[in-house]
Amino acid sequence: MKKTILLIACATLASCATHLPTTEDKLELEGLNKKVAEAKSLGAERCAPAELAKAEVKALYAAHEIEEGGNYNMDEAQALIAEGLDAAQAAKTKCTAKKEKLTPVAKPKPNKPKAKAKPTVQPIRSYTNSEVIDLKGINFESNKATLTASSKETLDQAVLILKKRANIQVEVAAHTDSGGKASYNEYLSGLRANAVKDYLVSHGIEASRVTAKGYGEAYPIADNRTREGRAKNRRVELIVK
């Protein structure tokens, strides 16, 4: 009898246990706040007020849930963050579309002698207009497609994001710097994109939701003449389709 009472008491206590907010939850909330700020900077108060308000209030509510401490409900906070992210993305998409619509078509100018174009760095992410999830911290062994141990932490975050946003499909886009032959860089980035895809799939993401593509050195985001620039250009991103 005593044992039964003890067992029931333990089970009751276990069911009453609450989760404490983790650093991951706080980081995700920071990510949402960043997205809200980005949407605001695009003028979302005017071009997407409903979506912005939804994202902002979800962020407030999630922060409130996380700060509640003892009454913290992890699933609830994560669901709020996911809904907020979707709303912030919708606001950004709406505002970007409106801006493109409003941009006047440039009139053809009379022929002028053209100055010789200087080689420039291509604009960031000129290869896509979709949402891009940066996977900062992914590194490979030199000239190989083998992920370093430190990269796995970032990839685990990506797995979490994809599990939460179960309705999105992504392309793993891998880029290199401009060192070496362009054809080799394209080949190597393809292998690296596939290595990332394999990791995501092996951690529970459906293969049908993920494609992989190597872009080689074609889309730099920084100057390849400096060491820092080259490090920035060697990157992996998830493009939301």
Partner 1 sequence: MKILLLLTVLLTTGPAFAGIESRADSVKASVQGKTDYHAHMARELVIVAQEEKDQQHLADAAVFMDEAEKHAAQSGGK
Q: Catalog residues that contact partner 1 under the rule CB under 8 A.
A: 45-46, 49-50, 52-54, 56-57, 60-61, 64
Q: Which residues pair with 173 in a beta bridge?
A: 213, 237
- Of 57 and 221, the one with the shorter C-beta distance to partner 1 is 57
- Taking the complex as a whole, the smallest distance from the CB of residue 68 to partner 1 amounts, in Å, to 8
Q: Give the side-chain half-sphere CA count within 13 A for 149.
A: 0
- Taking the complex as a whole, the smallest distance from the CB of residue 182 to partner 1 amounts, in Å, to 47
- Of 60 and 74, the one with the shorter C-beta distance to partner 1 is 60
Locate the DSSP E strands across 45-200. 132-134, 170-175
- Taking the complex as a whole, the smallest distance from the CB of residue 81 to partner 1 amounts, in Å, to 14
- Taking the complex as a whole, the smallest distance from the CB of residue 65 to partner 1 amounts, in Å, to 10
- Taking the complex as a whole, the smallest distance from the CB of residue 74 to partner 1 amounts, in Å, to 16
Chain mean position to CA 236:
10
- Of 78 and 157, the one with the shorter C-beta distance to partner 1 is 78
- Taking the complex as a whole, the smallest distance from the CB of residue 62 to partner 1 amounts, in Å, to 11
- Of 84 and 220, the one with the shorter C-beta distance to partner 1 is 84
User: CA–CA separation, 61 vs 83, rounded Å?
Assistant: 11
- Of 88 and 238, the one with the shorter C-beta distance to partner 1 is 88
Q: Among 48, 28, 35, 27, which Cα is nearest to 131's?
A: 35
- Of 47 and 159, the one with the shorter C-beta distance to partner 1 is 47
- Taking the complex as a whole, the smallest distance from the CB of residue 40 to partner 1 amounts, in Å, to 10
Using CB atoms within 10 A of its CB, is residue 77 exposed (0-12), middle (13-18) or buried (19+)? Answer: buried
The answer to whether residues 201 and 212 touch, using CB atoms and an 8 Å cutoff, is no
- Of 34 and 46, the one with the shorter C-beta distance to partner 1 is 46
The answer to whether residues 232 and 221 touch, using CB atoms and an 8 Å cutoff, is yes
User: CA–CA separation, 92 vs 42, rounded Å?
Assistant: 7
User: CA–CA separation, 41 vs 47, rounded Å?
Assistant: 11
Using CB atoms within 10 A of its CB, is residue 152 exposed (0-12), middle (13-18) or buried (19+)? Answer: middle
